[in-house]
Amino acid sequence: MTSQHDDNESSFPSGEPPEGEYAQGEPGQVDDPGAGADSKSTAKEKAAAVKEHTIARAKQATTQVREKVGHTAELAKSKTPEPILHTATQTAAHVRDTASRATHLAADKTPDAVREKAARAAHATGSKWTPLLAAGIALLVFLLMRHSRRNR
């Protein structure tokens, strides 16, 4: 393990802090009253530069990932036979239609008391109500399907 002191020394090229950087007094004391303000502004400038650099790198990485994903999707699409793409498109449309019908069926068969409780819970969750409501409807559909299969 290295100590805190060792880590600080390794950040200086010569291993020793440059002359005049530190005051001889207590830690945290500054000999020149203006030096503290200068070091704060320098630190703020460095932090802003690091932030800008990080944002630029993140944007660059995001762009690269998007390009790579787009290229991969196009490559997969170009290598997939046309009949399979057509079947996948039809299947996706069928799944959307079935989900829509199931949602409407669940909404029609849901008792008013349950709807009111779901509405209150959705209101209480604020902006996150859409995913929670979708999960609740999916759970309700599952329970209704299970109940209907038991009655057969």
Each residue's pLDDT tens digit in the chain (152 positions)?
444 444 444 445 555 555 554 445 555 555 555 556 678 888 888 888 998 989 999 999 999 999 998 888 888 888 888 888 889 889 999 999 999 998 888 888 888 888 888 888 777 766 665 777 788 888 888 888 887 777 76
State the CB neighbour count (10 A cutoff) for residue 140: 19
Is the distance from CB of 106 to CB of 136 less than 8 angstroms?
A: no
Can you give the residue ranges of every domain in the chain? 32-79, 82-152
Name the pTM for this structure. Answer: 0.34
Q: Own/partner pairs for 126-131, CB < 8 Å, 24+ apart?
A: none
